Amino acid sequence: MKQSIALSLVEGIGSRHMRKLLDTFGSAAAVMEADIEQLMSAGLPLRLAQRVASHASEARARSVLDLCERTGVRVLTSEMDAFPRAFAECPDAPCVLYVRGDIDFNNGHWLSVVGTRNATPGGTAATERVVRDLSLRSSDTVIVSGLAFGIDKAAHVAALKYRLRTVAIMAGWVDDIVPRSHYYLARQILESGGAIVSDMPPGTVIDRGNFLSRNRLIAGLSAATIVVESAARGGSLVTADIASSYHKELFALPGPIDAPASEGTNMLIRSNKAILYQSAEDVWDTLNWSAEPPRATTEAPSLSALTERQRMAYEAFPERQRLDAETLADLWQVPLWEASSLVGQLRAKGLVAVDPYKCYYKI
């Protein structure tokens, strides 16, 4: 472990060089024992080979490892079974992770939810609906995001609300919570079985490049990324591009064509870079995840707790169909206002959900 940390701390090595060295030599210990000629034969430039062979980073590696042991931060290296297998096909994924929290990176349905920092009220509400739908599809869903303002925060908050584990990726050291106002949210994430993750060592000075680097972890940790709301430019589109480069599935929520906050997501859909997100079933079908019966929320009642009118409406609602309010009014043979009221009651009881096109479906 110490050799992996030491190698990652060598200035200029980076994830790509480190992965190539590990593939060539078989272990971080073997890399650190290699001489300059052997390192250059593996493709390192002279100056980098000299830095590795000097072992100058080992003292700092010992200091980092001591700090982790004292403060309870887990260190995972690519040589360990517990290291995220989702990184296997990501050429620039980190080889060392610092983790606060005991989450198992190789169990569960991991999905990243990202979007603009300048979220609209509609975008925040849409994020909650997405996470809620994912929670109903599987209680083993893990929501990954960046703990930033806007959609990131909404994704973490919704995951906590619907009792999903959630993982926040930091741009600096794992305990350097940015923004500081999200410190309490970070604590809630840990207390709920989630994790705070970074590949940056202690003492890292956070700049714009760190946030761009962080995005590759958000994209790499999950099987798919869902972009909820994004302007024409922004960090969430960078994450989307990275996810595509990793051959991960990408989803996006559509928005009004004249809304600046939806320009990015609409562009992703229009250019066929992203799949139109309508429901959690879209994600499960695309990823070929095994079917799991939707999970009832804690507030969802049994049918016996419904009024007679609610029960009849629910039982008449076709399985696996999406219907708008007008169609439901015809189906239930009631006025439109009454159909809207009934479907609203069923949604409040956790029995019906709605997609971005205002079509309803049974849960």
Res 320 pLDDT > 80: no
Tokens of 331: 């189906």
In the block, tokens 């960078």 appear at: 238
- Torsion sign (Cα): 261, 216, 155, 341: positive
pLDDT at 197 (0 to 100): 96
pLDDT at 337 (0 to 100): 79
In the block, tokens 């004292």 appear at: 70
When comparing pLDDT for 57 and 115, which is higher? 115
pLDDT digits (tens, 9 = 90+) for 242-255: 999 999 999 999 98
In a 10 Å sphere around its CB, with 0-12 CB exposed, 13-18 middle and 19+ buried, how is residue 283 labelled?
buried
> Which strand (E) or helix (H) includes residue 74?
strand 74-77
pTM of the predicted structure, to 2 decimals: 0.77
pLDDT digits (tens, 9 = 90+) for 155-164: 999 999 999 9
Mean pLDDT of 256-263: 86
**Phi and psi at residue 249, to the nearest 5°:** -70, 145
What are 224's strand-pairing partners?
A: 111, 249
Residue type for 106, please?
Answer: N
pLDDT at 297 (0 to 100): 45
CA distance 336 to 326: 6
pLDDT digits (tens, 9 = 90+) for 68-116: 999 999 999 988 899 999 998 888 889 999 999 999 999 999 999 999 9
Q: At what angle do helices 151-161 and 121-137 cross, to 10 degrees?
A: 40
For the sheet containing 109-114, what is the strand order?
A: 74-77, 96-100, 195-198, 165-169, 141-145, 109-114, 224-227, 249-252, 275-276
CB 110 within 8 A of CB 144: yes
CB 10 within 8 A of CB 49: no
CA distance 90 to 274: 19
